[in-house]
Amino acid sequence: MLNNQIVVVTGGAGLIGKAFVEAIAQNGGVAIIADISIERSHQAKASLPESLQYNIDVIELDITNKESITQQIQALHQKYGRIDALVNNAYPRNKNYGRHFFDVEYEDFNENVGLHLGGYFNVSKHFAKFFVEQGHGNIINISSIYGLVAPRFHIYEGTKMTVPVEYAVIKSGLNHLTQYMTVYLKDKNVRVNTLALGGILDGQPESFLKNYRDECLNKGMLNPKDIVGSLVYLLSEQSKYVNGQNIVVDDGFSL
């Protein structure tokens, strides 16, 4: 479905990122694992099927750093002759991220919003500028159901987990950033969409998994491979006229 598309996946070395990279390669695209750690990028590539290695490349990318972004755009353009899409999937945060609401310091809140939402703005701006000059492009922002609905704190009872206030602010802001960019880039042949994900299995406590399942329709927490079909659709020509949309994949949690 992706026909040799060159697709940059920020945070491509992570749990969700690797599933995206594998799906892109399986569908005939060239997936670029873009991570702040080049070592982690190489490790992620090596962990994927050998049959896909030819369709996977790695770069070191800091989405909060202008020079890092522009240098890698130039290098990829020189290597491949084009870049077709950017998948914004990185998850930058500081060491104090994830505290409960009353424990979050003002400085940490600002830093985490700046790193994550600011980083998405930063990398999107530079790729969008390149896409406009190139004549085509596609940006997919990875958001969350907690950018759409209020947290359901009761499902976290009995665990040390919570919904970080920064996360909710970041993801809701990202949804509007998608719409802003979509309209701003009118007539530029650059699409921008959001993929809002429900919870992804990653070793969470059983009590939380049960409570989360009770809020869903069929499965509950999803595996990374459960969400890749929607990404491939947004990258493909089948969604050519889908623009400015927020596609939710959450097994009905947000209903």
Please give the positions annotated as active site: 167
Look up residue 199 and give its two tokens.
Answer: 């919870």
Do strands 6-10 and 30-35 pair parallel, antiparallel, or not at all (unpaired)?
A: parallel
Q: What is the DSSP letter of 223?
A: P
How many whole angstroms separate alpha carbon 212 and alpha carbon 30?
A: 35
Angle, CA of 234, 183 and 16, to the nearest 5°: 30
The residue type found at 146 is Y
Asked if 126 and 66 count as a contact pair (C-beta separation under 8 A), the reply is yes
- Which residues have C-beta within 8 Å of that of residue 77, sequence separation ≥ 6? 83, 130
Sheet holding 30-35, edge to edge: 56-60, 30-35, 6-10, 85-88, 137-144, 190-197, 246-249
Q: Which of 241, 208, 202 is nearest to 222 (CA)?
A: 202
How many whole angstroms separate alpha carbon 19 and alpha carbon 173?
A: 25
How many whole angstroms separate alpha carbon 153 and alpha carbon 202?
A: 19
Alpha-carbon distance values, 210 to 152, 158, 204, 251 (Å):
14, 12, 10, 14
